[in-house]
Structure 1
Amino acid sequence: MKKALLIVDVQNDFCPGGALAVNDGDKVVPVINNIMERFDMVISSQDWHPADSVHFEKWPPHCVAGTAGADFHPELDRAKIDLRLFKGTENRDDGYSAFEATNASLTAFLQEHSIQTLYVCGLTTDYCVKASVLDALKEGLHTCVITDAIAAVNQQPGDDKKALQEMYTGGCILVEADEIRG
């Protein structure tokens, strides 16, 4: 059974020092780099908001298309990424889920490559990771969350735990990186 890794929004603005920094957001990078080779395909998503996005009514401006904040974390190994997805690109959506990408269809890509199992990691557990996982489950994919390769915004204490519970209840499997075989 072929499997893919979905790296969600490991971008400068979600890492320490960024516009919407996640505590320890950068700590996911070495874990992700170490597991990429275990997958048949590697996919990434990036928030890619217009400067005047309605999304910024809810959140501080972040990941504005073409800015350094929207770039991948500098230590993320980009060479192994087979498909880059851009989301939140239009001024009418939040674009939390990688399945909402506007430049390519994640569903079509997975079908084209006969991927039935999707492992999800990245930022943030309680928003974009969760939305992507729940959409993957709706698509009928065998879906796993790599718990030591995610980090949460935690606007409210415990949002990370609630998100993990919602994903687990929805049907995903929670794994750690060292449990994944190549």
Structure 2
Amino acid sequence: MTNVFPSRPGVGDALIIVDVQNDFLPGGALAVPEGDRVVAPLIQLAARFAELGLPVFATRDWHPQDHCSFAAQGGPWPPHCVAGTEGAAFAPGLRLPETAVVVSRATEAASDAYSGFQGTTLGVQLAQLGVKRVFVGGLATDYCVLNTVSDALAGGLEVVLLADAIRAVDVNPGDGDRALAAMLAAGALTGSATQAAAA
């Protein structure tokens, strides 16, 4: 892994926690292998950001029952993260700061979105807060993390990818590794949520 960055949160930083929802955890409708392993480091870092008065955002899939990504509508996935269901809830251990902002994505039946920026006000909110750099972790490396990081970079933000707080679906073997390589090639730096929380 290249571009390793000794990250210390500070002014101009925000944390983006991507889709740490029950349906993406082991036993969920669209489980990411070891997806539950991202919870502990993200909790630590979210608490650190709150302590420093820095913004925390948590994205979530928030689908209608007939969402276009579901197999019954011709999409690639089983039904998952249907708005208001237990599967769409954040992981039980993910204790978000009271100040955290929840960003719901892919809320319309006819449109899908893998990026936390797509069809949301996330970019506007970050700009209004003067955010220049985002720390990103969550699920899954090869889909929503990849697309969120890509859009953040395209929008001119610096990105610290939290290597200890991401996991891949790997529908095709190696998808996660390829996604990681693509993010680094696009300019993302890698960091550790655990180390950043202790910095």
Question: Smaller-chain TM-score range?
Answer: over 0.9
Cα distance, 1:79 vs structure 2 = 3.0
Q: Which amino acid aligns with 1:122?
A: G
Structure 1 CA distance for aligned equivalents of residues 99 and 172 of structure 2 = 33
Calculate percent identity across the aligned residue pairs: 44
RMSD (Å), alpha carbons? 1.3
Contact 2:41 2:194 in 1 (8 A): no
Q: Name the structure where helix makes up a greater proportion of residues.
A: 1
Q: Which amino acid aligns with 1:150?
A: I
Q: Which amino acid aligns with 1:145?
A: L
* Residue 146 (structure 2) pairs with residue 130 (structure 1): yes
Residue number among 51, 60, 77 corresponding to 1:46 in the alignment: 60
- SS of the equivalent of 2:132 reads strand
* Residue 89 (structure 2) pairs with residue 71 (structure 1): yes
Matched residue, 1:87: 105
- SS of the equivalent of 1:55 reads coil
Alignment of 1:48-63 (within 5 A): 48-56=62-70, 57-63=75-81
Q: Which amino acid aligns with 2:34?
A: D
Matched residue, 2:3: none
The superposition leaves residues 49-95 of structure 1 with CA deviations (integer Å, 9 ceiling, x where unpaired) of 11001111211110011100000000001234521000011122221
Distance 1:158 1:81, change over 3 A: farther
Contact 1:42 1:80 in 2 (8 A): no
TM-score (norm 1): 0.94
Higher relative contact order (CA 8 A, sep 6+): 2
Contact 1:86 1:101 in 2 (8 A): no
Contact 2:165 2:193 in 1 (8 A): yes
Q: How many residues align?
A: 180
Q: Which amino acid aligns with 1:38?
A: R
Q: Which amino acid aligns with 1:173?
A: L
Matched residue, 1:5: 15
TM-score (norm 2): 0.87
Distance 1:160 1:33, change over 3 A: same
- SS of the equivalent of 2:161 reads strand
Runs (4+) off by over 4 Å: none
Cα distance, 1:126 vs structure 2 = 0.2
In terms of Rg, which structure is larger? Answer: 2
Cα distance, 1:42 vs structure 2 = 0.5
Contact 2:44 2:194 in 1 (8 A): no
Q: Which amino acid aligns with 1:4?
A: A
Matched residue, 1:140: 156
- SS of the equivalent of 1:160 reads helix
* Residue 190 (structure 2) pairs with residue 174 (structure 1): yes
Contact 1:36 1:80 in 2 (8 A): no
Distance 1:2 1:38, change over 3 A: farther
Structure 2 CA distance for aligned equivalents of residues 84 and 116 of structure 1 = 19
Matched residue, 2:35: 25
